[in-house]
Amino acid sequence: MLISYLPILILLLVVMGFAISNIIISALVGRHKPTAEKLSPYECGVEPIGSARERFSIKFYIIAMMFVVFDIEVVFLYPWAVAFKSLALFGLIEMAIFIIILLVCYVYIWKRGGFEWE
């Protein structure tokens, strides 16, 4: 049974060997002439303003996490909608509980001012 995974293992070894050999060849053959312009942070072709080590507001990360959480909700809703008939009443109740929990979280975040960008 494990013999059926042999082609996948061979492919994995070939890919890893290719990647490692490319890194080694690049390090050996490539030119190493660092300049101030090459070492400066790249910002979409625009001259960098300030330090690259600037701190971001925690609000930025909280908004990003909320986006991910509510985006994941759609990932769970789609398979449920596809298998809606086979899940019957049990699936409907489970999804209702899931949506109610998300709705409570949404209202909590809204009341706490989580969607306010200052």
Task: Please write the tens of the pLDDT for every residue from 47-68.
Answer: 767 776 778 778 888 888 888 8
Say if 70 falls within a structural domain. yes
CA 54 to chain centre: 22
Mean pLDDT across 14-18: 98
| Amino acid sitting at position 22 | N
Say if 100 falls within a structural domain. yes
Distance CA 71, CA 79 (A): 14
Say if 12 falls within a structural domain. no
> By three-state DSSP, how is residue 46 classified?
strand
> By three-state DSSP, how is residue 43 classified?
strand
pTM here is 0.50
> Could you tell me the CA-to-CA distances from 12 to 6, 20, 41 in Å, in that order?
10, 12, 34
Say if 50 falls within a structural domain. no
Say if 31 falls within a structural domain. no
Task: Write out the residue range of the structural domain in which residue 82 sits.
Answer: 60-118
Say if 55 falls within a structural domain. no
Say if 23 falls within a structural domain. no
Q: How many domains does the chain have?
A: 1
What CATH number is associated with residue 94?
1.20.58.1610
Mean pLDDT across 73-77: 84
